Every structure is written in C-alpha cells, then in structure tokens.
Amino acid sequence: MSAIDFRTEPSRYRHWRIEADGEVAYLVMDVDPAGGLSADYELKLNSYDLAVDIELNDAVQRLRFEHPEVRCVVVKSGKDNVFCAGANIRMLGKATHGHKVNFCKFTNETRLAIEDATEHSRQIYMSAVNGSCAGGGYELALATDHIMLIDDRRSTVSLPETPLLGVLPGTGGLTRVTDKRKVRRDRADVFCSTEEGLRGAKARDWRLVDEVVPPSKWDEAVRARAQALAARSDRPKDGKGIALTPLNRANGGDRTAWSHVEVEIDRARNVATLTVRGPSQPAPASVAAAHALGAAFWPLAVARELEDAILHLRTSEPAIGVVLLKTDGEAQGVLAHDAFLIAGQDDWLLREVRHYLKRVLKRIDVTPKTFIAVIEPGSCFAGTLAELVFAADRAMMLIGTREGDNRQPAAIVPGEANFGLYPMGNGLTRLQSRFLGEPEALDDLKARIRESFDAEAAEAAGLVTFAREDFDFDDELRQMVEERAAQSPDALTGMEANLRFAGPETMETRIFGRLTAWQNWIFQPPNAVGEQGALKLYGSGVKPTYGKDRV
C-alpha cells in the first residue's frame, strides 16, 4: 500500500458532513461505498476503512478549533435504517497484520479524541442511533457521552465481532462496555457473544444505551437532548474559530519537511531522525494576537506537524525501527510560548492548543518505534519540547561541545509544562511516571523549574539515560541504534508497550495495553486469518472452521 496521507479538509470529505446549527452540530456519517482507500472493497452500509476515519479525525479536530460556538455534537447517520455497520470486513480480511493494527490504533485515537473533546473542550458528543449499529458502529457510539436509540423494533446495538468474525471489537468496545458503561459482566458476555445484539428497552436496561425513544418523538427528543447537553458546556457563544489551513509538507527523497518539523530517513540503518524546531518569533503579545496568528501560532503549528510526522512514520514507514528525536532552537523561546499558553488557559483556543499537544505526545507513547532523544548543542529541549525527552525510551546527552562547534553545550530546561499540561494515557505526567520509584527526585525537579541542566546535571537528576563526552557519543549512539535494529521488532514493540506505562491504568491504557494486545494475538492464528478463518470467509457463505483448542 502506498503512503497514506492523513491531511484532509471538509471540502474534500466523501464520507462525513458537518451540519452546524448554532450551538449544536450534527456530524453526519454518510459513507461513499466507492471512497475507500482501496478499490478491493465497497464500503456498504456505512462501514468504514481508514479513509473514513481520517475524515472523522479531521472533523473532530476542526469542530474544536474552527467551531468554538459548537457545544454539543450529535453523531448520526445520513443513511436510512443503518447507523454504522462497523469496520469493513472485506477490508480487514484482505489487510496485512500491520495495516489492521495501525488501523485499529488510529481509530482508537480518534474515539479517544471524541472523549477528550467532550471532557476538555466541553464540546459534548452524543449519538443518535437511528438504525442498526454494529461492531465499530457501536464502538463509535460508545465514545460519545450519551447514546440514544430509536425504539422501532429493528434498530439494534451489537458487538458481533466474536461470534461472527472470530476477533475482538477493535476500538475499545469491550473496555468501554465494562469500564465506561459498567455493564454487568455476565450481561456483557451475553451481549458480546450474540451476533444480533439488543434493541429497545432491554438495551437500555442492560446499560448499553442511555435512552430509547419511539420513532414519533425521535427528532424532537434528539434536538432536546442536544440542547440540554449544550447547556452544560462552557464554550464561548461568541467565539470565532480559527482556520486549520493546509499543512505545508515537502518531500524530497528520504527527507520530508514541514515548517517546524523535519524527518530524515536513513534506509540503510532503518533509522529516522525527527527534528522539531523551536519558535523563530517571540510569544504573542496578547491572546488576541495568538488568535490572529491562528494556525501559524507556533505551538499549534508544531502540534499539527509533529502529529503528521508521527502518523506518517507509523503508517507508511513500518521498517523504521528507531526514531532519533532532536530539537533545534532557543530554549527561552519555547519557555516563553509555554508561559503564554499557561497564562491563557481560560481562553478556549489556548486550551485547545494545550490539549492538542497532549494528544500528539500521546500518539508517540503508543507508536511502535524505539524513540531515542538525542540532546546536543543547538537543541532546545525546554518545557513542552523537553517532553520529547521524557516520551523517549532513552535519552543520550552530549557533555560539553563538539570540536569546531562554538554553540553552547546542550541543556535541558524543565518548565511548568512538564508538571501537568500533558498527562499520559495513565493520567500521570511523564515525569511522574518516570519517577514513580523516586518521588523525591520529582520534588527536587519541581523546585528547579526553568533551571538549565547541562548533561552531567541532567544525568544526575535522572532526566537522561546517558551523558557522554564527544569522543564516546557518536560511537555509543551508533552502537545503540545498531543493537536495537538487530533485535526482534515484535518483542521490542511488546517490551516498549509494557515499559512505557508504569503506574495506574485507565480506560485508555487498558485499550492500548490489554485490549490491543489480545487483538494482536487473535489477528494471527488461523481461526481468524487462515484460509478457513472467519475474517477470510466472511460473506462467502461458507462457515469458518475453528480449531477447538483453548489457549
């Protein structure tokens, strides 16, 4: 499959419409069967593939940034009798293991973004389920805070993946059934192993939906509910959105450059270097000035570009096992922007930018690559950008300078941003996760905010893995990368997924840890993907043949 582009905008959507109606927006799913990523399958019955979800992700972003006035988003279907049939099964049947995993990861991130919008932007999502709502369709509804189901005797919610396809619901369905909706486990067991699902009052009594409404009252009830949810929001009624203008991205061989981000690939070694440049302008003089900058406001621009770079590496560069994280610029500029972001947290736009940066950093946390932060003279690992060091699996820092390089020695500067702006999926900051075993080291750091840590101080404070002198640095880094590249990519992915999330678990970590891992397993053996497996045979009229052994 050729490189997948995650950039889109509403004028190019083929599967979704945003119908704004004052405080309420309707996000209408109306999938074009011929609009999938591949011509191998048709997206019937509002089933989806990655192309559909790329638009959904874009719509969720734009509603936050471009529509501050929208306080409630109603997800509904543009088709009769079907809300959404879930992920397209023919697509899954033909997809490689890697594509399935990437597809599930991205769709999971989108559903978490819906929950994040509800919680942190107070743009509250609800679902108006008018028609059958199966598998990924129900998982989409589960990501919203309120599910309405029409009581027309045929509209159902269901998770038929296990009985029908021999796999698990892939976008958090099991986890949200047990942990968000707190469905009793025996009922969850019945529901998740019953192909036809549940409808009407029983679906409500079993906590699978929040209300059921007769057809005669449907439109009115949906509108009333949306307005009631909108009334709970604190979004500014008179806010003016900013436009998420098209990203500048230039490709040249193995180098891809955005305005502030650059990725360079060394194919011989399967290594990428991702460089983020600090701001070239001072922080805006006022909140109004930041609004005027819009998508050019440095923290927002960096968030968008870094996200695009990470998604590109993850989806289109599977053979790249190691990503070196670098920065380039002035620490003070980064810290000034951080201070500006923090001071303006009452402003809706600055709040959005902060949560967007949070989500982009979380994408790194669940990206199956080894990240090594490389901290050298000329870098600006301060505040928000220092978060890249703490998101990395390891960090190498140069002591002093290199011969012939007259820049100052590298420094790491912890900022306020590192102490609460960007929690990980586990609910802790990266520094909290890092210092679970040494809480006193964390307290110590907190007292040294905005202090420059040179390599030896950073190593002593536990901020980097290794500080090395010039004459060792390059060799050691090269050896580290080579060793990593020689190890099993599968084992490394599993190892990183286990080591990155110490401490508490949340619905989110459970989705990416427990659920994803089980799904990855189930996606492998013949019961799912063999010639007689359920995914392969779906739609052929032939029943799958399962090996019987339980493992």
Q: Which of residues 87-106 bind a copy of itself (CB under 8 A)?
A: 97-98, 101-102
The nearest distance, CB 48 to a copy of itself, in angstroms, is 21
544 lies in the binding site for a copy of itself (CB under 8 A): yes
Token output for 215? 């057809």
Q: Are the C-beta atoms of residues 115 and 109 closer than 8 Å to each other?
A: no
| Nearest to a copy of itself of 291, 369 (CB atom) | 369
Residues 50-69 that bind a copy of itself (CB under 8 A): none
| Nearest to a copy of itself of 46, 493 (CB atom) | 493
539 lies in the binding site for a copy of itself (CB under 8 A): no
Q: Which of 145, 103, 141, 140 is nearest to 121 (CA)?
A: 145
175 lies in the binding site for a copy of itself (CB under 8 A): yes
Residues 255-314 that bind a copy of itself (CB under 8 A): 270
Residues 472-511 that bind a copy of itself (CB under 8 A): 483-484, 486-500, 502-505, 510
Taking the C-alpha atoms of residue 223 and residue 8, their distance in angstroms, rounded to an integer, is 29
- DSSP tag of 468: E
161 lies in the binding site for a copy of itself (CB under 8 A): yes
Choose which of 268, 319, 406, 440 interacts with a copy of itself (CB under 8 A): 319
Q: Going by C-beta distance under 8 Å and a sequence separation of 6 or more, which residues neighbour residue 253?
A: none
- Is 469 strand, coil or helix? strand
The nearest distance, CB 368 to a copy of itself, in angstroms, is 4
| Nearest to a copy of itself of 252, 437 (CB atom) | 437
> Which residues, listed in sequence order, are joined to residue 24 by a DSSP beta bridge?
21, 72
| Nearest to a copy of itself of 488, 540 (CB atom) | 488
**Interface segment toward a copy of itself; rule CB under 8 A; list 132-140, 147-155, 250-258, 432-440:** 432-440
| Nearest to a copy of itself of 168, 335 (CB atom) | 168
The nearest distance, CB 61 to a copy of itself, in angstroms, is 26
Token output for 40? 């191998």
Q: Going by C-beta distance under 8 Å and a sequence separation of 6 or more, which residues neighbour residue 440?
A: none
Question: Can you state the angle between helices 298-316 and 348-365, rounded to 10 degrees?
Answer: 30
Residues 433-472 that bind a copy of itself (CB under 8 A): 433-438, 462, 464-465
> Which residues, listed in sequence order, are joined to residue 138 by a DSSP beta bridge?
none
- Is 334 strand, coil or helix? helix
Taking the C-alpha atoms of residue 351 and residue 356, their distance in angstroms, rounded to an integer, is 9
97 phi, psi to nearest 5 deg: -55, -45
Count the alpha carbons within 13 Å of 73 in the hemisphere toward its beta carbon: 33
Choose which of 17, 187, 249, 402 interacts with a copy of itself (CB under 8 A): 187
239 lies in the binding site for a copy of itself (CB under 8 A): no
205 lies in the binding site for a copy of itself (CB under 8 A): no
